[in-house]
Chains A and B, each alone.
Chain A
Amino acid sequence: MAKIIVVTSGKGGVGKTTSSAAIGTGLALAGHKTVIVDFDIGLRNLDLIMGCERRVVYDFVNVINGEANLKQTLIKDKRTDNLFILPASQTRDKDALTKEGVEKVLNELAKEFDFIICDSPAGIESGAMMALYFADEAVVVTNPEVSSVRDSDRILGMLSSKSRRAEQGLEGIKEHLLLTRYNPERVEKGEMLSVEDVKEILAIELVGVIPESQAVLNASNSGQPVILDKDSDAGQAYLDTIKRLLGEQVPFRFLNVEKKGFIKRIFGG
């Protein structure tokens, strides 16, 4: 039985696509057959982050409309086994995704895959609603910043009222908090909300903390999910996150400022 995980946030630019790419790749690395579906119709970007933008022939909407089948449309990742991408359409038609169409495609994917990662667009419009509607679990990507936390809370409300599980009275969507762009130095100075602060406000289980890292931009520049950069802090933090998603207990890393030497402490830098 496939598990459908939506990566969502409400606010834009917090790292949904970066996280979707990392989570999808991580699950595939762990041996699970995984597909990442880009729900951001009109603003396709997962293909760029995954480095397969020149291999897109058909897209999600083509499959819904019966203009292409899944086999023709799914892009097999070249670096990671068990990993496929379903690109979003670049159409400007906002209503291209219908509930029936999305359900049909997800059902078909569920026969093949262990995990279906739904990369949600920002906002609370139909695209974002479609991405979360069929989810079994949700990764709520949040920055330690007021507008992101508020929007995440809004999305948590949607998850518990506007999803298929809510409408059919099933067990609720399992919610995970993924805190991204975390800067321990600024937290220590009292300039940034801490992990504990955000956990307390949103009151959901923490699945990962990704430090603010240069590795993320480097990864997106080269079209390679940051989780493959195993030497980087962000890459390692995503690897830990995957383990927790799969039920393992892993201690959190990168939450504190690295201890500096005596000289640095006196003179700063």
Chain B
Amino acid sequence: MSLLDYFRSSKKNTASTAKERLQIIVAHERKRRNGPDYLPQLERDILEVIRKYVDIPADQIAVSLEQRGDQISVLELNVTFPDDKR
């Protein structure tokens, strides 16, 4: 880096932005990858059922299957309703 660059504006460090974004998306995709194959379809089906009653966008639903100990798996369903639809 030259002296001239040094006095130029200190721009945002884009590499650290890239790293943060990657860490989030990669973690998300790994979680999905390790889940059972039927999970995405299950998510779509549940979304369809809820949509019969409430109009919610697709990204407002999250389904995850979590292994807790050797014996138990917990299916977790998270649906965020829009404010005016309650």
Contacts and interface: CB of A to CB of B under 8 A. Distances in A.
Interface in B29-86: 29-30, 33
Given A201-B19, A201-B22, A267 B29 contact: no
Given A267-B2, A267-B4, A193 B15 contact: yes
Interface residues of B, number: 19
A193 B1 contact: no
B4 to A, nearest CB: 6
Nearest to A146: B18
A268 B3 CA distance: 7
Interface in B1-30: 1-5, 13-16, 18-19, 21-23, 25-26, 29-30
Given A153-B26, A201-B22, A190 B2 contact: no
A172 to B, nearest CB: 15
A157 interface: yes
A187 B16 CA distance: 10
A229 B29 CA distance: 40
A193 B18 contact: yes
A193 B19 CA distance: 7
A266 B22 contact: no
Contacts of A92: none
Nearest to B5: A268
Contacts of B19: 193, 197, 200-201
Interface of A: 145-146, 149-150, 153-154, 157, 161, 187-194, 197, 200-201, 264-269
Given A153-B26, A201-B23, 7 more contacts: A146-B22, A150-B26, A187-B15, A189-B1, A200-B19, A265-B3, A268-B4
